[in-house]
Amino acid sequence: MSSSTLPDASQVGLPASDAASAAELASLKVRLRAALRQFPDFPSPGILFEDILPIFADPSLHEALIRSLELHITANYGGQKPDVIVGLEARGFLIGPSLALRLGASFVPVRKQGKLPGPCETQGYEKEYGQDFFQMQADSIKPGQKVLVIDDIIATGGSAKAGGELIQKMGGDLLGFIFILELEFLHGRDKLPAPVYTLLSGQA
């Protein structure tokens, strides 16, 4: 499209910097979406598995992922900066620490039961293909800290709901949940007690 056919930022009612960020985010998302792969019947029949690992195999896509999440976070949540990024084991650990570093926030893990030392909070949950327990160290979130939860995918929402419950037990203020992809037909977002953002369109 030629520049003469594109509205400029003032014509669409946005400050120029917001319009530039929206355009940057849109082009990053196109590159990220193209990198994903699907595997039918993994890990069990009937599941179409979404593989996000190609993003991490390419440093420019890895940077695109962190930058796109940074753009989303700085433009939303009423300008509030998260104090803590919580990542869900295991694939949330691929994204959470580098995102936290970029934002100047703490990173705190939610782990599967039996992996964390010291007093822990525990929450059971069901997910798309099984049952499990999540834990967090009991002193890992201070009351009133603003927390964003990150994971690769929301399917049934069971994992993210359990992570959110652990954060709320410790008095954390849940700003929202962020995912790369959403299996929309499972309506997992309806289970979650804070705003849900998915970076890329998922399985409808």
Ligand X SMILES: Nc1ncnc2[nH]cnc12
Ligand Y SMILES: O=P(O)(O)OC[C@H]1O[C@H](OP(=O)(O)OP(=O)(O)O)[C@H](O)[C@@H]1O
Q: In what order do the strands lie in the sheet with 196-198?
A: 120-127, 130-137, 106-112, 84-88, 146-154, 173-182, 196-198
Positions in 3-32 near ligand Y (CB under 6 A): none
Positions in 50-79 near ligand X (CB under 6 A): 50
Positions in 169-188 near ligand Y (CB under 6 A): 188
In angstroms, give the least distance from the CB of 125 to ligand X. Answer: 12
Kindly state whether residue 91 participates in binding ligand Y, applying the rule CB under 6 A.
Answer: yes
Candidates 1-9, 11-19, 45-53, 190-198; binding stretch for ligand X (CB under 6 A): 45-53
Contact 180, 153 (CB under 8 A): yes
Q: Distance between CA 41 and CA 44 in Å, rounded?
A: 5
Of the pair 121, 152, the CB lying nearest ligand Y is at 152
Phi and psi dihedrals of 121, rounded to 5? -90, 145
- Judged by the rule CB under 6 A, the positions of this chain that interact with ligand X are 47-50, 128, 153, 155, 183
